[in-house]
Amino acid sequence: MPFFIKKGGKRTVNQKSKVRGRSKAVPSSRNKKNLSKKDNEELSEGSDEELPSDDEFVGKSSDSDSELERETPQEKRLRLAKEYLNQVEEEIDEAADSEDDADGLMAQRLKHDASKLKGKHFTHIADDILSPESDDIVILRGHQLSLTCLVISPDNKYIYTGSKDCSIIKWNVELKKKVITIHGGRKGTESSHKGHTSHVLSMAISTTNKYLVSGDQTALILVWNPESMDLLHTFKGHKGPVTGLAFRRGCNELFSASADKSVKVWSLDEMAYVETVFGHQDAVTSIDAMMRERAVSVGGRDNTVRVWKIVEESQFVYNGPGGSMDCVCLIDEEKFVTGSDTNQICVWKVMKKRPVATVNNAHEGDGECWINALRALRNTDLLASAGSKTGQIKLWKIPDFGPPKAIHVVPMPGFVNDLHFATGGKFLAAAVGQEHKLGRWWRLKEAKNCLAIINLPKVKTKSIVNA
């Protein structure tokens, strides 16, 4: 299998979307060449890639709406830069004890933010994480059957969980209780029921906190309002269970993976289908994405990882060490981690054909053991994994060189079907069930179908850089 594959010929137009009146271009980076000269000049001068967006500032401009509308791109950039520097100075004044400290912290913050805008910042925090005690673990019950997936809102206030009972629950993290429950429906009531009528297998939430999406066993993708949990739209297109969902950071472009061996791209701004990419020879079991217009997926028994470069209509293909590759997650824009049914965790770099580091026998357990869930805290050296029915979650440190090193073990009876870190690494959330999310090979009666919130105590360090 070649390392780099590029599709030949012109991109085919989806006839189904054309019939439905969706043939108009979906706004994205790939359509910038179609913009007028004036629009291109404004994008170049006021690009969000060079300065943080308005949402990142604490202070708000005192100008009226009419004055803001008359701003030129240069004036807007200057205003945002001033607000950004004022915010940084306020944070430095709160964190620093002396002028020398302030100068060092200012340089540290500016360097970190510059790297963050390019998606290249990296923070070492694994050594600051203390071992969670029993008091640090909160168990919340609400689903009747095994939890299969979860996501955390960007502000860390809410957790959303999906289950084999076809329901979705919104949890308040601070109050430790359910806020809204979308109950599952019976088969045959798809046209009248608001929600899923089959196992919910995957979830994702946009970094804009505008959309929550969930995928199920009958190939449907449902789009929700995260605040009210109103159903906004239903996407149909996959021919198999939707096993993975991932939003691009900072926008509302969605990637979906399915057991039908395909990856699809959707625009939620337009509520429209964009395109489908093929390459995997087996069910796509997991997918992840970050800032760039590309996604990384694993294809189960085809033993490959693929990085999809959507704009170029091409893909990188990586052959795994063996077995079924069941989960994948990005560390940053250039590195990612995979887990397989051979109980291996592999660290990869985008420009390397083979893993740069491998952990064999990552989880100890009786009989068969495989990596069931995997999640990295973005742009840090902290990784979490779960090993099938071993009843434990492991926290790992990813060094600059060499294989990941286990730093803590958290007991968690049952199948841990999904893991997610809160922004900044404040806590780790786990979707736990008596059964594996994709089958009923075993049933652990002693386990609880629950949401586990694991607070991650940290060593107090003097830093204003957030992961």
The confidence score (pLDDT) of residue 321 equals: 87
**Strand, coil or helix: what is 56?**
helix
The confidence score (pLDDT) of residue 191 equals: 84
Residue 349, in any domain of the structure: yes
Phi, psi of 458 (to 5 degrees): -125, 150
Average pLDDT on 139-166 reads 97
> Over the stretch 383-403, which tens digit does the pLDDT of each residue have?
999 988 888 999 999 998 899
H or E element in which residue 68 lies:
helix 65-69
Q: Tell me which DSSP letter residue 458 carries.
A: B
- Flag the least confident range among 3-7, 212-216, 365-369: 3-7
Question: Where residue 142 sits, what CATH number does that domain have?
Answer: 2.130.10.10
Directed axis angle between helix 99-117 and helix 73-95, to 10°? 140
Band (pLDDT 50/70/90 cuts) for residue 44 is: very low
Residue 46, in any domain of the structure: no
More confident residue, 32 or 245: 245
Q: Tell me which DSSP letter residue 51 carries.
A: S
> Over the stretch 93-135, which tens digit does the pLDDT of each residue have?
665 554 455 666 666 666 555 555 555 567 899 999 999 999 9
For CA atoms 155, 156, 157, 160, the dihedral sign is positive
Closest CA to 437 of 427, 449, 446: 449
Chain center to CA of 104: 32
Query: Does residue 6 carry a pLDDT above 70?
Result: no
Band (pLDDT 50/70/90 cuts) for residue 33 is: very low
Band (pLDDT 50/70/90 cuts) for residue 347 is: very high
Residue 48, in any domain of the structure: no
Average pLDDT on 411-439 reads 94
Among left, alpha and beta (phi > 0; psi -120 to 50; other), residue 460 is beta
Average pLDDT on 161-190 reads 95
Band (pLDDT 50/70/90 cuts) for residue 165 is: very high
Structural contact between residues 82 and 90, judged by C-beta atoms closer than 8 angstroms: no
Average pLDDT on 209-229 reads 97
In total, how many domains does the chain have? 1
Query: Does residue 356 carry a pLDDT above 60?
Result: yes
Residue 121, in any domain of the structure: no
Residue 163, in any domain of the structure: yes
- DSSP string covering 119-145: T---B--GGGBPPP-GGGEEEE---SS
Band (pLDDT 50/70/90 cuts) for residue 181 is: very high
Structural contact between residues 434 and 146, judged by C-beta atoms closer than 8 angstroms: yes
Average pLDDT on 344-359 reads 95
Query: Does residue 462 carry a pLDDT above 60?
Result: no
The confidence score (pLDDT) of residue 40 equals: 35
- Flag the least confident range among 118-132, 200-214, 351-365: 118-132
pTM for this structure?
0.77
The confidence score (pLDDT) of residue 228 equals: 97
The confidence score (pLDDT) of residue 106 equals: 62
Torsion of CA 116, 117, 118, 119, to 10 degrees: 40
Residue 134, in any domain of the structure: yes
Closest CA to 132 of 393, 460, 451: 393
Band (pLDDT 50/70/90 cuts) for residue 90 is: confident
Query: Does residue 416 carry a pLDDT above 60?
Result: yes
**Strand, coil or helix: what is 32?**
helix
Query: Does residue 368 carry a pLDDT above 90?
Result: no
Residue 223, in any domain of the structure: yes
Amino acid at 201: L
Query: Does residue 16 carry a pLDDT above 60?
Result: no
Query: Does residue 48 carry a pLDDT above 50?
Result: no
The confidence score (pLDDT) of residue 51 equals: 38
Percent of the chain with pLDDT over 70: 76
- Flag the least confident range among 87-91, 358-362, 447-451, 458-462: 458-462
Residue 426, in any domain of the structure: yes
Domain interval for residue 441: 126-455
The confidence score (pLDDT) of residue 230 equals: 97
Average pLDDT on 317-339 reads 93
Average pLDDT on 293-304 reads 93
Q: Tell me which DSSP letter residue 240 carries.
A: S
Percent of the chain with pLDDT over 90: 62
Structural contact between residues 429 and 455, judged by C-beta atoms closer than 8 angstroms: no
